[in-house]
Structure 1
Amino acid sequence: MSNSDPSTMAKKESALKKSGGKPDFVTPEYIAAQRAKREQAKLEKARKNKELGIVPQEEQVAANTSFIKRPMLAVNDGHALDAASEGVDVKIMTYNVLGQALIRRKLFPTNGDILKWKLRSKVLLSELKFYDADVMCMQEVDLAHLEGFYYPELTKLGFDYLFHRGERKNHGLLICWKKALFSLVKSEVVDYDNDCGYDDREAEGAVVTEPQMLTRNIALLAALKFNSSEKGIVIGTTHLFWHPHGTLERTRQCAIFVRNAKTFANNLDVAKTWPVFLAGDFNSLPFDAPYLCLTKASAERVTERSKYVITNSAIHEYKKKAVAEEADDDAEDEEQEDVPEESENKPAEPAPVQAQAPAAPVMMEEFLPETSHPPIPIPSADSAARIAGIEDVYRLHDNNEVRLRSVYGECYRYVHPENANIESRNGEPTFSNWAHTWRGLLDYIFAFDFPERRRDDVQMRAEEGDVVPGVKALELLRLPLPAEMGEEPCGQPRVGQYPSDHLCLMAKLRIY
């Protein structure tokens, strides 16, 4: 029986109708016709949407994933580099990327859809691609998004990586480096809760300073060798204790971070001459004890303000609820990815805090006890003994016998002087954290200034980019002025601006 038999054709036509128009056999002509039909339907839908003012989803995504692109500012512009010294250039970034597990709508009441990971992650990735750092130190990296976002995307960008988190935390620290430039020599984790600041030999007869509480904060160290030479760097990152009264504990953690980084570098034969960098979110302002103890000699680290703040921190009696606040935030993740569209715009149930006029954001420039409103401590029963213990924390810093130089603090004044106050902020920019109710500088890139590496016949010139011996800053990523953040509410993250409540810092450095 041939295909042209009338009964056969009738059966095929009947089958075609029953299958919704799809024939038993698919010909190239049929496929072409279906494609043309679908394309025509798309054009018709686009025409109707245009008439209604509806923006296509792909255009919405492209608009929403834009961000403010900041320039790199040349530090040694107009100054000739020492051509006789061969160096390797490297771009180091530090970035608190805002842990999705820590997002609480009450802390970000006006930020909208940018809080959702499916959008924010796209902006974050675009930003990382644009700045194209060689080494990145990230804080608040979500454990839940490692396998689905960070690891695969960083691999595509040519990075290798290390991740570690504090006990039971669902976010942690990530150091990543371009595999084409570096090879990992060794890494180490520093657990502040289980480190007294001394090794066993040093602890004999010493006044051991215990943590005020178990904070679960850590630091991560890595030794990275350049593939092109025998040079390399030691890089460390941390996210210090978050609490408003945590200044004393943060000062203790800083001393432990430095001690471990110094020991880590000295125990590696290949790294004995490598520069050491510590980058991260120190949750400390440049006029408070943690920063001053890292960067100043003992005679310069105590100011009226720093003494006032660290004293209040020492006497504060932490409540169990306050100590567990971050853990509670971890457990009560408010990503709201699964909230139905029709319910997202419903008015929220009234709450006392919403019934009041919003408080003006606090810009933490500088303050003294009589002219400002720092957090009020809850005095403990043994306040006198706790105040005396401050000297023990200072002693930990003295034992390290090394000072740190902030790359931005040393050089930023020469590239953006209107945003670098020398007297009140030690030359640092105004802010790196711009949240709904609080703004200030919390993030830094430090370099070790080893006394034994300094030469009497070599003078460091910060205006020409010198940071420490063997390290010169070539470029610094610009940070905005407060006036450039726009009208309130402007707390970050925000669509079209920045994907985190912190802004990344990045320095292009020449390693000699």
Structure 2
Amino acid sequence: MLIRVFFLRKFIETYPSANLIAATVAPLPHTTWKNSFFNNILMASSKPETKNGSKKGVPSFVTPEYIELQRQKKAEKMAKKATLKQSVPQEDQPREFNTDFIKRDMLPLPNFVPFDENKLPVDIKVMTYNVLAQTNIRRSMFPHSGETLKWKNRSKVLENEFKFYAPDIGCMQEVDAEFIPSFYKPLMESMGFDLSFQAAEGKTHGILIFWKTSLFEKLKVDVIYYDDHDELPGRMNTKNIGCCVSLQRTNDPSRGIFLATTHLFWHPYGSYERLRQGAVLVKEVNAIADARQNWPVIIAGDFNTEPFDTNYPAMTTKPFAICRRATDIIERSMNYVFGESELEGKEEAVAQPSIKQSDTNTESGVSTPTSTTSASAPSKKRILHVQNEFVPHYTTFYEQHQQNPRLVSLYSYGYKHVDPVNAKNAFEHPAFTNWANTYQGHLDYIFVMDRNSTSEKTANEVVEGIKLKSLLRIPKPAEMKEAEPLEGRYPSDHVALMASIQLI
């Protein structure tokens, strides 16, 4: 009996409207209790109707009609929530990253005269681009870049740039090794390119050469390890390398080109090492190309060298000419003593030293690291490498440069004709190719090798077998904002260089 009373009380609590059941709490005969129990269940399931005719509460048994009604109500509720979400102001919702970039035009040289058709010339676009290694990024070095620094964002902009400019051959520097299989290789292969990536042991990024397989076929790849050249020894190992790919033309295997790239030592006081590395690079590439004297040679990359730094005139002047300013720079470099952290091969390891404005490039108004007049505060750990019997004087590298063939910068050759306002300086180059937070200047080049300087040149012929048609426009300093990269502008702290040339 107590059990019956307990269940009755629970029933009354569940269905409060069945108030008549309260009278049945007292003990009843068995049959009378059963009849009253089921009669009151029927009364409890008969809910009072609302104004719109619906019944409140859950029925004592679930019908298909009831299930469908609940589904409709849930759908209406979800639709109402979606409408409210759409009405939220746009600025309160997460926005998509802008993967667009500033598009630059190819500037044609005036009065271009092509090679004779019987020489079977081919037009190609050659690019060089320091794409900024993700492993080199520290937010303190890029205080204005924000979400642009994330690889998932920058990679999309780099891809869009590459597809828009559509080079035929080219070089990249600061290419992350980890992104070769997941990004660079699939992207380039989808666009009809083959590639060769090289990195020094222990470095997380390296250099890359690419070429369109419809135009060229790879014969071989040669890697130049600057640290291993004992005949021109350096003061320390920097883990910088060069690479040269021999490419024959698919339509005529007897013709082809040599395409080389490098990323020279980065330090502001590294002019001594850059002078040495430049001498080794040109010497080795010239030796590689010796087997095919009629093939043009292109060397492009990030030389970390301003036009007034010692390495540039050493590579580009014949007869050899080094001005007093370049001599001062190389001698300051010889007297600088590096700290241990500065030789780790990571460009982000040490902030660049402050630059005195008294010794800037007055033509462009841009400060340069090689123009500093005093060294930065020395590191606690010292690596001694000052002049001694094991370290050659810098004039030893001059001797090698004098033996090397001359290089010609395509931007120095032609930019004054296509954008004279941005080439009004003593070196006839654009004001910059690198626009970083601590430094802005011209560091990247597309060189061609003058292997036969005595030959007569035809119109627009830079060196034998190469004519310059157009150059990719470089922004003026007035067009720039804070340090790159910035969203909707440029995905690297360098800008790409590209030249359209005609080859025979």
Q: Which residue of 1 aligns with 2:111?
A: 78
CA distance in structure 2 between the partners assigned to 1:173 and 1:38 by the alignment: 57
2:395 is matched with 391
Q: Alpha-carbon deviation of 1:119? A: 0.6
CA distance in 2, matches of 1:174, 1:12: 70
What is residue 432 of structure 2 aligned with on the other side?
431
Q: Spell out the pairing of 1:405-444 with structure 2 (5 A cutoff).
A: 405-423=408-426, 425=427, 427-444=428-445
Residue 263 of structure 2 corresponds to which residue in structure 1?
A: 239
Answering whether residue 245 of structure 2 is matched by residue 222 of structure 1, we say yes
CA contact (8 A) 2:101 2:490 kept: yes
Residue 226 of structure 1 deviates from its aligned partner by 1.9
Seq. identity, %: 36
**CA 1:82/1:210 → structure 2, altered by over 3 Å: closer, same or farther?**
closer
Q: Distance in 1 between matches of 2:326 and 2:166?
A: 37
Shift of 1:44: 2.6
- The letter of the residue matching 2:272 is L
Secondary structure of the 1:479 match is: coil
Secondary structure of the residue aligned to 1:106 is helix
Q: What is the rounded CA distance, in whole Å, between the counterparts of 2:237 and 2:398 in structure 1?
A: 20
Q: Any conservation in 2 of the 1:471–1:509 contact (CA below 8 Å)?
A: yes
Residue number among 475, 494, 499 corresponding to 2:470 in the alignment: 475
Which of 353, 361, 365 is the equivalent residue of 2:361?
365
The answer to whether structure 1 residue 505 and structure 2 residue 497 are counterparts is yes
Tell me by how many angstroms 1:506 deviates: 0.3
1:390, CA displacement in angstroms? 1.1
State which of 161, 164, 168 in structure 1 corresponds to 2:202: 168
Q: What is the 5 A alignment of 1:16-415? A: 44=83, 47-49=86-88, 51-54=89-92, 57=95, 60-61=96-97, 64-75=98-109, 77-84=110-117, 85-196=119-230, 208-230=231-253, 231-267=255-291, 271-300=292-321, 302-324=322-344, 326=346, 329=349, 365=361, 373-376=372-375, 382-383=386-387, 389-400=393-404, 402-415=405-418
Q: Name the amino acid aligned to 2:399.
A: R
**Does the alignment pair 1:492 with 2:495?**
no
Larger radius of gyration: 2
CA distance, structure 1, for counterparts of residue 265 and residue 398 of structure 2: 18
- Cα RMSD after superposing both structures: 3.5
Write the distance in 2 (CA, Å) between the matches of 1:272 and 1:42. 74
Given the superposition, is the C-alpha separation of residues 13 and 481 from structure 1 closer, same or farther in structure 2, using an over 3 Å criterion? Answer: same
Q: In 1, distance between residues paired with 2:316 and 2:63?
A: 85
SS at match of 2:346: helix
Q: Which amino acid aligns with 1:123?
A: V
Q: Using a 3 Å threshold, how does the CA distance of structure 1 residues 232 and 37 change in structure 2: closer, same or farther?
A: farther
Q: Equivalents in 2 of 1:38, 1:137: separation in Å?
A: 57
Compute the displacement of 1:272 (Å).
2.8
- For 1:317, give the aligned amino acid: V
Secondary structure of the equivalent of 2:492? coil
> Closer, same or farther in 2 for the Cα pair 1:103/1:381, shift >3 Å?
closer
- Report the secondary structure of 2:498's partner residue: strand
Superposed CA offset, 1:312-344 (max 9, x none): 1112222212222628759xxxxxxxxxxxxxx
Output the amino acid matched with 1:418.
Answer: V
Residues 335-371 of structure 1: CA deviation (Å, up to 9, x unaligned): xxxxxxxxxxxxxxxxxx9xxxx999999525999xx
Who is 2:447 aligned against? Answer: 446
- Cα deviation, residue 499, structure 1: 0.2
Distance 1:90 1:38 in 2: 61
SS in 2 for 1:326: coil
Query: SS at 1:125's partner residue?
Result: helix
Structure 1 residues 374, 479: closer, same or farther in 2, change over 3 A?
Answer: farther
Cα drift, residue 428 of structure 1 = 1.3
**2:8 is matched with which residue?**
none
Deviation at 1:46, TM superposition (A): 6.1
d(CA) in 2 for partners of 1:217 and 1:398? Answer: 23
Instruction: Render the CA deviation track for 1:191-250: whole Å, top value 9, x for unaligned.
Output: 000023xxxxxxxxxxx4311110011011101122122321110010000111110111
CA contact (8 A) 1:364 1:439 kept: no
Larger mean CA deviation between 143-152 and 236-245 belongs to: 143-152
User: Which ranges of structure 1 fall in alignment gaps of 5 or more residues?
Assistant: 1-9, 22-29, 197-207, 331-352
Residues 294 and 254 from structure 1, CA distance in 2 versus in 1: closer, same or farther, beyond 3 angstroms? Answer: same
> Greater relative contact order: 1 or 2 (C-alpha under 8 angstroms, separation 6 or more)?
1
Code of the residue aligned with 1:398 in structure 2: it is: Q
C-alpha contact (below 8 Å) 1:169/1:327 kept by paired residues: no
State whether residues 198 and 243 of structure 2, in contact with CA within 8 Å, keep that contact through their aligned partners in structure 1: yes
Question: In the aligned structure 2, how far is the partner of 1:41 from the partner of 1:467?
Answer: 70
Structure 1, 221-230 or 161-170: larger mean CA deviation? 221-230
Aligned twin of 1:333: none
Q: Deviations over 1:96-143 (max 9, x none)?
A: 000000001111112111011111111111111100001120000001
Distance 1:52 1:176, change over 3 A: closer
Q: Secondary structure at the match of 2:172?
A: strand
The code of the aligned residue for 2:341 comes to K
Structure 2: unaligned runs, 5 residues or longer: 1-60
Quick check: 1:221–1:234 contact (8 Å CA) kept in 2? yes
Instruction: Give yes or no for contact 2:387–2:393 (8 Å, CA) kept in 1.
Output: no
> Do the aligned residues in 1 keep the contact of 2:126 with 2:167 (CA within 8 Å)?
yes
TM-score (norm 2): 0.77
